Amino acid sequence: MQDDLVFRPARELAGLVRSKEVSPVEVTEAFLARIEELNPKLNAFITVTADTARSGAREAEREIASGNYRGPLHGIPYAPKDILATRGIRTTNGSKVTPDWVPNYESTVTERLRGAGAVLLGKLNLLEFAMGSGVLSGFGPSRNPWHLDYSPSGSSSGSGTALAAYLTPLSIGTDTGGSIRAPAAACGIVGLKQTYGRVSRYGVTTLSWTLDHAGPMTKTVADAAVMLRIIAGRDPKDPTSSAEPVPDYEAALASGVERLRIGVPSSYFFEGANPEVDAAVRAAIGLLGTLGARIVEVDVPHAELAGSAGWIVAMAEASAFHEKRLRETPELFDPLVRERLETAKFYSATDYIKGLRVRTILQDEMARVFESCDVMAVPGSTQLASKLDDEIAAKSDVKPGSTSPAFRGGNTFLGNMTGLPAITIPCGFSKGPPELPITIEFYGRPFDEATILRTAHAYESATDWHRRRPPL
Amino acid sequence: MTAMTPIRPIRQRREVLKLLVAGGVLGPAAAAAIQEDAKLSTEILERAAALFEAGIEPARIREILPAVQRNRDFFRAVRELEIGDEVEPAPTFQAKR
């Protein structure tokens, strides 16, 4: 039974815990055992908080036994990206610049999860400060469970790895240009970047104040819905957080996609896609059509600028945020992070403002898109997971001998530039070898996470991609 | 929603100039100017670093030059985009529904 527990989604575990068929202690021990077995080769966790987890699980067990059940995360383990501050627990940001930082405050997201009774397993690896190489970041690369020579992408790399390898049932990632959705795509799990302001950024180390989001990374859409409901809502500690009412996302899941209009862009988002990705995503859209959705064509005329304009905004803000650390200890940074922060010093104020004006254009264009559809579907990533860089290639964005485009990014950066909610879920695997995940991404209207969750859940319920296990 | 004048498709000035040079409409001086405009040097970057007070040592400037050049090429589409006067910047998220 204990071995089997790690393969169950959080919602299923919650049912077992609530009915007292399984104790939170048993669940926690099952995950700790799997972490001990597999983390040495996957490097998903930077810190394992086994003692904290065990005491949290025992407390949950006592509370539930005495009839004080807090809800669907009570006694359920989780692990956040190690960029969310946890009071009294080392928070490294994946960096040798801050390797021993022990915050004296708690991020709002982890505070809310703790309040819901979730059990902290530890802190997960990431690309340094959410923008590094992974390979040369402070704690080395996480590895993709589908093939250990491959990258889990990032920057929430440890979250993608840990979920795909069943080291945790739930995680929190952060997303400034795609850092929740890109590892979700590379690792074949669920990544939700909700509307900007829906979830507090308090206690999340900044990459870009205006683009950062912290959101759920899970094995199933229903688990993402449960997690979002708990972490969402106004937070006085984050002035950009929204007072928009938080609906019951789980209740919305059962609505299906009948008569829902799904927009498929006629340009940009599929361009240059791996043929297997293109075919799988279009097949997924076709399946939604057979489930009752109406497929309509849409266009985002300036989508190709989302990546480049977003990069200017993100890196200009990051360079401002890290100014002091970069001046005092440049040699401690991942060489790629250092290069990105230093090159950003040569962007002009005009470049930055122009990036913000492109944001207006993209927001307007997406508002027009949602006049003719309810959800927009695009590939989660146009490419399959790539091999981990060697140490030379990892040092710079300028790859020797590479003829590939510098950076594309629009499929995900669009969500950060517009603030719109987006969810990435598995929709296939490449033929291989190695067999690697393929994903589809759904965009929705502002604060309408319920509709993208419902669409994703309808697709997931009709397929079994999310049940596949990597060959570990 | 901001009322916008049509935004021109991304047609870079440089591409138009290149076409004109290739078609013989513009001469070698224009071709040289395009080339010069496209390439950064360590000297240019050192002057820019001094102007911005970037605090980057000359040796380091030589190392990051290819990355700055790459970014410059990458951002050209944004820099050359013509945007209508009425399009204001969005400093942060605006819920447009």
Pairing state between β A119-120 and A77-80: parallel
**Which regions in chain A score pLDDT beneath 50?**
none
Q: Would you state the pLDDT for residue A372?
A: 98
| pLDDT bracket for residue B5 (50, 70, 90) | very low
pLDDT > 50? residue B1: no
Residues of B in contact with A327 (CB under 8 A): 55
Q: Would you state the pLDDT for residue B2?
A: 41
pLDDT > 50? residue B9: no
Q: Would you state the pLDDT for residue B20?
A: 63
| pLDDT bracket for residue B95 (50, 70, 90) | confident
Tell me the per-residue pLDDT of A329-358, one tens digit each, with 9 for 90 and over: 999 999 999 999 999 999 999 999 999 999
Distance from CA of B60 to the nearest CA of A (A): 9
Give the containing element (helix H, strand E) for A41.
helix A24-42
Interface test with chain B among A210, A211, A343, A368, by most B beta carbons within 10 Å: A343
Q: Would you state the pLDDT for residue A392?
A: 87
Integer Cα distance of A348 and B48 in angstroms: 11
Percentage of residues of chain B with pLDDT beyond 70: 61
Look at the alpha carbons of A10, A12, A15, A18 in this order and tell me if their dihedral is positive or negative. Answer: negative
Q: Would you state the pLDDT for residue A1?
A: 58
Q: Are A110 and A172 in contact (CB under 8 A)?
A: yes
Residues of A in contact with B11 (CB under 8 A): none
ipTM of this predicted structure: 0.88
Residue whose tokens read 């036994």: A65
Q: Going by C-beta distance under 8 Å and a sequence separation of 6 or more, which residues neighbour residue A314?
A: A131, A176, A177, A207, A208, A211, A416
Distance from CA of A260 to the nearest CA of B (A): 17
A210 and chain B in contact, CB less than 8 A:
yes
Q: Which residues of A are catalytic?
A: 81, 155, 179
pLDDT > 60? residue B8: no
A63 and chain B in contact, CB less than 8 A:
no
Instruction: Answer whether B90 sits within 8 Å of A308, measured CB to CB.
Output: no
Residue A42 tokens read as: 């996957």
Instruction: Answer whether B78 sits within 8 Å of A305, measured CB to CB.
Output: yes
Ramachandran angles phi, psi of A77, nearest 5° = -75, 155
Distance from CA of B25 to the nearest CA of A (A): 30
Which chain B residue lies closest to A369 (C-alpha atoms)?
B97
Residue whose tokens read 């049940």: A467
A8 conformational bin, left if phi > 0, alpha if psi -120 to 50, beta if neither? beta
Q: Would you state the pLDDT for residue B16?
A: 57
Integer Cα distance of A311 and A307 in angstroms: 6
A193 and chain B in contact, CB less than 8 A:
no
Q: Going by C-beta distance under 8 Å and a sequence separation of 6 or more, which residues neighbour residue B21?
A: B27, B30, B31, B34
pLDDT > 70? residue B28: no
A233 conformational bin, left if phi > 0, alpha if psi -120 to 50, beta if neither? left
- Give the residue with greater pLDDT, B2 vs A109: A109
Per the DSSP assignment, residues forming a β-bridge with A48 are A122
DSSP for A50-105 reads HHHHHHHHHHHHHHHHTT----TTTT-EEEEBTTB-BTTB---TTSSSSTT---SS
Q: Could you tell me which residues of chain B have a Cβ less than 8 Å from any Cβ in chain A? A: 1-2, 4, 7, 9-10, 45, 48-49, 52, 54-56, 60, 64, 66-68, 70-71, 73-75, 77-79, 81, 83, 87-97
Integer Cα distance of B72 and A343 in angstroms: 10
Integer Cα distance of A39 and A49 in angstroms: 13
Percentage of residues of chain A with pLDDT beyond 70: 98
Instruction: Answer whether A351 sits within 8 Å of B78, measured CB to CB.
Output: yes
| pLDDT bracket for residue B33 (50, 70, 90) | low
Residue whose tokens read 């401690």: A332
Q: Going by C-beta distance under 8 Å and a sequence separation of 6 or more, which residues neighbour residue A49?
A: A89, A120, A121, A122, A123
Q: Tell me which residue in A197, A210, A347 faces B91 most closely, judged by beta carbons.
A: A210
- The structure's pTM equals 0.93
Q: Would you state the pLDDT for residue B30?
A: 57
Residue A388 tokens read as: 């981990």
Q: Which of A195, A248, A201 is nearest to A225 (CA)?
A: A248
Other beta carbons less than 10 A from residue A73's beta carbon: 30
Q: Which of A310, A304, A66, A287 is nearest to A212 (CA)?
A: A310
Tell me the per-residue pLDDT of A246-301, one tens digit each, with 9 for 90 and over: 999 999 999 999 999 999 999 999 999 999 999 999 999 999 999 999 999 999 99
Interface test with chain A among B47, B74, B93, by most A beta carbons within 10 Å: B93
| pLDDT bracket for residue B40 (50, 70, 90) | very high
Of the listed ranges A373-377, B8-12, B89-93, the one predicted with least confidence = B8-12
Mean pLDDT over residues B25-43, rounded?
67
Give the containing element (helix H, strand E) for A120.
strand A119-120
Q: Tell me which residue in A240, A305, A359 faces B90 most closely, judged by beta carbons.
A: A359
Provide the chain A residues 390-419 that lie in CB contact (below 8 A) with chain B. 396-398, 406-407, 418-419
Integer Cα distance of B52 and B68 in angstroms: 14
Query: Count of CB contacts below 8 A, A vs B?
Result: 124
Q: Would you state the pLDDT for residue B32?
A: 56
Provide the chain A residues 253-292 that lie in CB contact (below 8 A) with chain B. none
pLDDT > 70? residue B3: no
